[in-house]
Amino acid sequence: MSPHNDAPSPAGSFTQTFNMSFRPVAGSGLRNSSSNTNSVYSESPLNDSQYSSSYSSTSLDTDDHMSRPLVPGVYVPTVCFFDPVTEDLDTATIGTHAVRLAKAGVTGLTTQGSNGEAVHLTHSERQTVTQTTRSALNAAGFSHLPVLVGCGAQSVRETIQYCREAYAAGGDYALILPPSYYAPLFSPASASVIEFFNAVADQSPIPLLIYNYPGAVSGMDLSSDVIIQLSAHPNIVGVKLTCGNTGKLNRIVAATKAANKPSSLSASPPFLVLGGSADFTLQSLIGGGHGILAGLANISPKACLEIVRLYREGRLSEAQKMQEVVARGDWAAIQGGIVSTKAGMESWLGYGGYARSPLPHPTSNESAKWKEGFRELVALEKSL
């Protein structure tokens, strides 16, 4: 699925019981609301979820979540890997891929994003992927890297459930799409969407980032006004803009930045604003954005990081030349979505496999096309 249709956007029943009571992360600034005590979204005690991971034989200690601030940089929505025959989770590859990205220097990882095929996973599989990722990072010496977890669902209740499961599996933040299935019935002026995010933020044990991706939610495109309004909630700490609208990005940054700018580029901004695609990394930075959360970084994390470094050093001409290569490579990922991304990884990295059914396996001609589409980008990546 194309993330932003090659153009800026206009302004614009499974249940599972689990055993976790609500526990906000220390320092999250979660607002205490009287509505929380008797909320219709509160959950009864749940059964233990079973995790499998080649990196850990025991579940994480969810009472000992360390603080992992969101700082400017390159975040990667990780690909999910499956056995090519059974389509079972390939936890070994999930873990080794996470460590590869960490060693490349990325700022943080996201599980259960569009590249992670979240819509193809059960609740328990989502937990397994997140815990495998967290455990792999910890075991390899990258316990400081934050893990964001896609937690969007169509109801407030299930979205809160995903947030609690993400926390239990070691996730630090929840990335949430707006609900869209019943969008024609929503209250006007985005009132239903605003109520949705505020209700989830009131109950989530981890802070939220808004995920604005019109292509995944029937064209719903949150305006800068709505996102700025939601940023006032103390448990909503950022946004990913896959809409490709850098004007919107600039308005959000201007409205949410602190009166006193962070003392360094590594400081955590009051509200993290990320571009959602690598093909406008430089444009996002120039517009005041704090970085990207982009699927192409699964293939070329160093190239994405290099654009950020060059921009920060004031080497704009060099950054622009590198952005051109990254944008051409990203076109292959945009055109073919997760199918072409996995085909490119398989061709150039030796692993990637296939997406889960019903997504098709690429033909030999298609695989050759995607390999060629990433050739220039991979050559750049190898040179860094």
> Which residues are marked as active site?
240
> DSSP secondary-structure letter at 181?
T
Show the tokens assigned to 91: 């936890």
**At a CB cut-off of 8 Å and minimum separation 6, what does 115 contact?**
77, 78, 79, 80, 295, 298, 338, 341
**At a CB cut-off of 8 Å and minimum separation 6, what does 341 contact?**
79, 115, 295, 296, 298, 299, 333, 352
Cα–Cα distance between 343 and 354 in angstroms, integer?
7
* Amino acid residing at 140: A
Show the tokens assigned to 84: 């090519």
Compute CA distances 109 → 117, 135, 301, 316, whole Å.
Answer: 15, 13, 11, 27
**What element of type H or E holds 292?**
strand 291-293
Q: What are phi and psi of 196, to 5 degrees?
A: -60, -55
Q: Hey, what's the torsion of the CAs at 89, 109, 286, 333, to 10 degrees?
A: -10
* Amino acid residing at 85: V
**3-state DSSP call for residue 291?**
strand
Show the tokens assigned to 82: 């499956």
* Amino acid residing at 267: A
Cα–Cα distance between 172 and 148 in angstroms, integer?
6
